[in-house]
Structure 1
Amino acid sequence: MKLEDFDYELPKEAIAQVPANPRDSAKMMVIHRKSGKIEHKIFREVFDYIEKDDVLVLNETKVIRARLLGNKTTGARVEVFLLKKIEERIWQTLVRPGGKIKEGTEVVFSNNVRGRCIRHLEDGTRYFEFNVDDDELEEVGEVPLPPYITSRQSRPEDYQTVFARIPGSVAAPTAGLHFTPELLEKLKKKGVKILKISLDVGLDTFKPIEEENIEEHKMHTEFYRINPEVAKEIKSRKGRIFAVGTTVVRTLESWAKTGNLSGYTDLYIYPPYEFKMVDALITNFHIPRSSLIVLVSAFAGRDLVLKAYKMALERGYRFFSFGDACLFL
C-alpha cells in the first residue's frame, strides 16, 4: 500500500494544546467496525460500552525527564534528548544542533552532570555516555512535551497518565490520558477487569513514515513487560479485551506472536493484519502518514478510519496527544 493512502489535511488549529479538564470530559467518537456506525459521546461515557467481565488493559509506563539542556565546553547551547538506555550510563539520543556534535564532544549540564558523545549512528542518533546514574540524570532533565504542543499553558504533569508507574518512556501513551481515578474505580466496581502492562514508548512510534510503500517501513525496538499474573488473567478472561492505546495493542500482539512476556519488539502492524488479542481499541486521532494511523487502519479499515477523521475535523474534534478520543468497537 502507498503512504499517500494514509494522508489527510490537518489544520494547525485542530491540534490540541492543552488537555480537557477534567480529563474524562474530552469528546469521544465511537466507531462500530462491522456496521460502520459512528456515534459522538463524551469520554466518560466509555463506561456504557465496557461490560462486566471485559478486560481493560492500560500501559503504566511513566514518561522520564528525557530533555536535557546543556552547553559544550565552548559555551554553545545544546539539547540532548534521551531515546533509549543502551547500558549503564549510556543512552541513545537525539541532539540539536546535531551537526556540531562530533564523537568525543563533551556537554555540561546543571549539577555538574556531564555527557560525552561516544558514537554516531547511521540514523542520525548518537550514543552519549554520562558521568551519573539515571536518578541524577533525571534531576537535570525536563519532561518532553511533543514539538506540536507550543502553548505555555501546557504543564509537564498533564503529560502523565494517572496510573503511570514504571519509568522508561520518552513520550506518553496518550490514550490513557483520558482516564481519571474516579472513572477507573467506577469501571472496577462494574466488574471490569483492569490490568496493566508496560511498553517504553520511543519517538519512533510517533514519527511519520518516509517510505513510499508502507510495507518497507522499519520500527525501532521498544521494550515491553507483561507480568505473569496479568498474562494469566488475560488468558482466562470471559469478556472482550479493550486495549487502551496503540502501545498496548503492540504489546499484546507481540506476546501473541512470540510467546514472550517481556523483551524488545519491533512489531509493525499494517493492513492486512490478523489481530489475535485485541477486540476493541481506545485511541486518539493520529498524525497523518504515521505508523499509528496505519495500525488503526489495520484494525478498523482505512476507508472507515479516514471517514471518521474527516467527520472529526468537521465537528471540531481535537487531534493528537492532548486531543479527543476514538473508541473502535
Structure 2
Amino acid sequence: GGRVEVLLIRELESSTWEALVRPAHRLRQGARLRFGNSNLRAEVAECADKRFRHLKFAGDMPLDEVMNELGQTPLPPYIKRPSGTTVQDDERYQTVYAREKGAIAAPTAGLHFTAPAIQSLLAREAKVVEITLHVGYGTFEPVRVDNIEQHHVASESFNISDDAARVINATRAEGGRVIAVGTTTTRALESAVNIEGRTEPGRRATELTIKPGFQFRVVDALLTNFHLPRSSLLLLVCAFAGRDFTLNAYRHAVAARFRFYSYGDCMLVF
C-alpha cells in the first residue's frame, strides 16, 4: 500500500491513459490503484518508462466526473500546497478564455489577462485571436542533456480555427505584428506555417523543438513568464531574443525582485 500522485497525460484508448506517477517505483505492472472513497479503480497495464505508466481504469462513474470530484488542480511541484490545492488555485491557474478540456497544465502567460484587459485591447482596435492549446508534458520536461541539440520536446496538440488563421494571415499581409502570448502559442504558430509563409488552420500535433538558431516565421513579439533553468521554455526565449539578452533580462529581474515561474511576472520580448 501507500499513496501516489497520478497526473493523467493523454487517453491512449477507451479507459486507458498514459500517466506520470510519483513515486513511480511503487507501481509495477499489475499494481492496482484506488482513488479516494470512490469506486474508481485502475490497474497498471504497462510500465512505459521509469516515470510513466499506462493505467486501465474501471468504475461505475465516468472518469471525467471522478476527476472533477477527486482531482486537484495540477500545480507545478515547486508550488507547495501540503493540504492540497485551494479554491483560489482552481480559479487562478486557469485562463479566463479557457474552453476545451485537454491540457495538463495552464499556458501560464495567459494568466496575466483578465476579461477587462482583453476588452481594453479590443477597444484599442487590437485583434485578439484565440487558438486551442493542449499543453503537454513536454512543456515542463526539463532539459536532461548537456548538448541542447539532443533535447527534443514531446508532442503537443493544438487547433487553429479557419477564422484565427484568416486574421493572422491578413495581419501579416498588412504589415501588422503577431504577438504570441506564451511559448506554447509560439510553438503552435511556428508549427502551423506552410512553405509559403501562411498559417494553416486545423487540429494537429507538433514535435517542433525551438532552440537558438531557429528562424521564426510568424511570431514578431512574445509575452512570456520567467522560466525555470534547464527548460525548453527558456531555450525558446533564448532562440527568440538571443542568449545574452535573455540572461541579462533575467539578471535584472532577479535584482528587481520580480516573481518567477507560473504565478510570477512576465516580460514582452520584441
> Hey, what's the Cα distance between the residues in 1 that align with 2:234 and 2:194?
21
In structure 2, the partner of 1:211 is: 145
> What is the one-letter code of the residue matched to 1:135?
D
Q: Is the 8 A contact 1:94 1:125 kept in 2?
A: yes
> Hey, what's the Cα distance between the residues in 2 that align with 1:111 and 1:144?
20
Does 2:258 match 1:317?
Answer: yes
In structure 2, the partner of 1:98 is: 24
- Which structure shows the bigger proportion of residues in strand conformation? 1
**Any residues of structure 2 matched to 1:84-123 within 5 Å, and which?**
84-109=10-35, 110-122=37-49
3-state SS of 1:85 partner: strand
In structure 2, the partner of 1:273 is: 214
Cα deviation per residue 1:238-261 (whole Å; 9 max; x = unaligned)?
321010000100010110158562
Give the CA deviation at 1:136: 2.3
> What is the one-letter code of the residue matched to 1:247?
T
> Hey, what's the Cα distance between the residues in 2 that align with 1:241 and 1:229?
15
In structure 2, the partner of 1:253 is: 190
**Any residues of structure 2 matched to 1:14-25 within 5 Å, and which?**
none
TM-score normalised over the length of structure 1: 0.74
> What is the one-letter code of the residue matched to 1:143?
T
> What is the one-letter code of the residue matched to 1:275?
F
Q: Structure 1: which 5+ residue stretches go unaligned?
A: 1-74
> Hey, what's the Cα distance between the residues in 1 that align with 2:194 and 2:229?
27
3-state SS of 2:157 partner: strand
3-state SS of 2:6 partner: strand
> What is the one-letter code of the residue matched to 1:248?
T
CA RMSD, Structure 1 to Structure 2 (Å): 1.7
Q: Describe the shift of the 1:320–1:261 C-alpha distance in structure 2 as closer, same or farther (beyond 3 A).
A: same
Report how many residues are paired. Answer: 255
Q: Structure 2: which 5+ residue stretches go unaligned?
A: none
> Hey, what's the Cα distance between the residues in 2 that align with 1:272 and 1:201?
24
Cα deviation per residue 1:77-110 (whole Å; 9 max; x = unaligned)?
2221111222222111111221121111111113
3-state SS of 2:129 partner: strand
3-state SS of 1:169 partner: coil
- Larger relative contact order, structure 1 or 2 (CA cutoff 8 Å, min sep 6): 1
Identity %: 43
> Hey, what's the Cα distance between the residues in 1 that align with 2:157 and 2:94?
19
Does 2:102 match 1:168?
Answer: yes
Q: Is the 8 A contact 2:164 2:201 kept in 1?
A: no
In structure 1, the partner of 2:244 is: 303
When structure 1 is superposed on structure 2, of 165-174 and 199-208 the one drifting more is 199-208
Q: Is the 8 A contact 2:8 2:20 kept in 1?
A: yes
**Any residues of structure 2 matched to 1:140-179 within 5 Å, and which?**
140-150=70-80, 155-179=89-113
Q: Is the 8 A contact 2:153 2:209 kept in 1?
A: yes
Give the CA deviation at 1:151: 5.4
> Hey, what's the Cα distance between the residues in 2 that align with 1:102 and 1:255?
39
> Hey, what's the Cα distance between the residues in 2 that align with 1:90 and 1:194?
37
> Hey, what's the Cα distance between the residues in 2 that align with 1:102 and 1:300?
44
3-state SS of 1:194 partner: coil
Cα deviation per residue 1:9-29 (whole Å; 9 max; x = unaligned)?
xxxxxxxxxxxxxxxxxxxxx
In structure 1, the partner of 2:53 is: 126
Q: Is the 8 A contact 2:165 2:201 kept in 1?
A: no
> Hey, what's the Cα distance between the residues in 2 that align with 1:141 and 1:212?
36
> What is the one-letter code of the residue matched to 2:65?
E
When structure 1 is superposed on structure 2, of 198-207 and 222-231 the one drifting more is 198-207
Does 2:17 match 1:80?
Answer: no
Give the CA deviation at 1:233: 1.6
TM-score normalised over the length of structure 2: 0.89
In structure 2, the partner of 1:242 is: 179
